[in-house]
Amino acid sequence: MIKATSQFIIAVVIILNSTALLAQHNTAALIPMPNKIEQKDSGKPFKIDKAAIIKCDTPDSIFIKNLIKQTIKNRTGILLPEKESGREITIIHTPTTHNNESYTLDINHKQIKIEGGQAGIFYAVQTLDQILLGDKRNTEKGLISPIHIEDQPRYNRRAVMLDPSRHFLPLEDVKFFIDQMAKFKYNVLQLHLTDDQGWRIEIKSHPKLTQTGAFRNKKGGNNGPDNGFYTQEQMKELIQYASERYIEIVPELDIPGHSVAILAAYPQLGCSFRQSEEKNLGSTTNMMLCASCNDVYTVYEDIIREVASIFPSKYIHLGGDEAAVKANWAKCDDCLATMHKAGYNEPSQLMNIFFGKMLDIVKRNKKEAILWCELDNIWPPANDYLFPYPTDVTLVTWRNGLTPKCIELTRKHGNNLIMAPGEYTYLDYPQWKNDLPEYNNWGMPVTTLETCYKFDPGYGLSPEESSHITGVMATLWAEAIKDINRVNYMFFPRGLAIAEAAWSTMEQRSWESFKERLQPNLSDLMKCGVSYRVPFEIYERK
């Protein structure tokens, strides 16, 4: 214990001093690493002073101007004036159908020039901020060394999943997390809004969902961790806040399992033999919506219609994982009758009927569905000849060890795939031996910072073999994550490793380089109030 404590203290001291000791050049804090950098060591620096001006030609010019002004003021203390002439910081919007997130950033002694799509310009400003963070000596003098960067993401979807269903996260806390995501070029936030432990989104046509499903602790308040939900107006506010930072919010409504919260409010939606059973939010598990109950589809028609009207994203995630078929549909007379009528031999085949109806509802509301990919324990076993998912459904690979097979089958059958393999991206897993979450009873493996960094979302495959992989997602299942401080502790710094895996090509990535670039960013996160875990192990002497 004494040794571990001393290691922690030494690591904190190293990080606090790292900016002064190591971050002395203009790539020292770049995360994720840009995909093309040209250093101009012999050129004169750009000087930030009262003679520098901003010229901006973008659809959101006021926002971008203010963002650059605030970025420079935060790093240098210099507030750029409103002027007509001087050394220029020039921002040019170049619309492109190829990649709205690409950008170029060119810095010489005469000007800073940013070109790109709207999202790309925003990301260029984040890169500029990291240049100022890393090149501390020059930044303190109001100087920026010459550099040329051409950059675009390896993957179009770079997501984080938060789980306010298990432990509710107040609106302002989610906004704070969004701010941190944006710094490292994440562009999707998936909110896991319904599960056994809570229903966290207002549905006006069925108010009992939140009246019952959002409150599992009678003595708790309305703002977490056990109680609370987002009103539709709050969710719209959050969506707007995220969109200003080029982050899309995707709702997840987990069905047909993980459904205790809705069954606590409407027990008639479960299999008839389980309707009278007690349903305790937070402790009861393994109950499912009944596949043969028409009211299930009627209620979800209302739910999906309202959710679709709130979220601009074209996607709705419907879960589809870990359903306890044997404990529900296999013992339900109505489900068994439906199974026999359809000519099926196994209760799990009722997933075809259940999701056939749910996916039709999603399509009627002009959305597309995402599902967790299950290969061998929920749907009929998947193989080269039987793959139960429609091709217009995007799948997420997650089960440890099954990702190579999932990549192969989705490629053959034409499904887009998001990469969230548990062994690399499940950030509720402990980060070091004996550094465990408060709740740990299912034998989670240790997933270190270095393990996360080694993640190659393409699994070493050729571009042709992996062209259907559209993105990456880091997940934070919240059984043990009770508040935003614990969210940050589990996400940072591992989330920065995954950010680089999602953005940077393998050729631009280096563990040794990342460890150095990490240090000024950790120091900066500390100043912002982010309660990250100190990765003391990477500072140990070998």
Active site residues: 195, 258, 322
Residue length of the chain: 542
How far is Cα of residue 481 from the mean position of the Cα atoms in its chain? 15
- SS (HEC) of 205-222: CCCHHHHHHCECCCCCCC
C-alpha torsion 527→530→533→535, nearest 10:
-40
Cβ neighbors of 254 (< 8 A, separation 6 or more) are 165, 192, 194, 195, 318, 319, 321
In 3D, which of 64, 68, 70, 41 has the Cα closest to residue 135?
Answer: 41
**Could you please report the per-residue DSSP string of 265-330?**
H-GGGB-GGGTTS---TTT-----B-TT-HHHHHHHHHHHHHHHHH--SSEEEEE--S--TTTTGG
Do 111 and 87 contact (CB within 8 A), yes or no? yes
Do 196 and 282 contact (CB within 8 A), yes or no? yes
In 3D, which of 250, 231, 224 has the Cα closest to residue 362?
Answer: 250
Q: Which backbone phi and psi does 202 adopt, to 5 degrees? A: -65, 130
Q: Which helix or strand (DSSP H or E) is residue 130 part of?
A: helix 118-134
In 3D, which of 494, 487, 406, 480 has the Cα closest to residue 444?
Answer: 480
- Show the CA angle centred on residue 373, arms to residues 401 and 285, nearest 5°: 95
Do 142 and 77 contact (CB within 8 A), yes or no? no
Structure tokens that stand for 501 in this block: 């895996």
Q: Which helix or strand (DSSP H or E) is residue 359 part of?
A: helix 350-364
Cα 38 to Cα 15, 175, 203, 299, 501, distances in angstroms: 28, 35, 52, 57, 21
CA separation for the pair 50, 425 (Å, rounded): 45
Q: Which helix or strand (DSSP H or E) is residue 39 part of?
A: strand 37-39
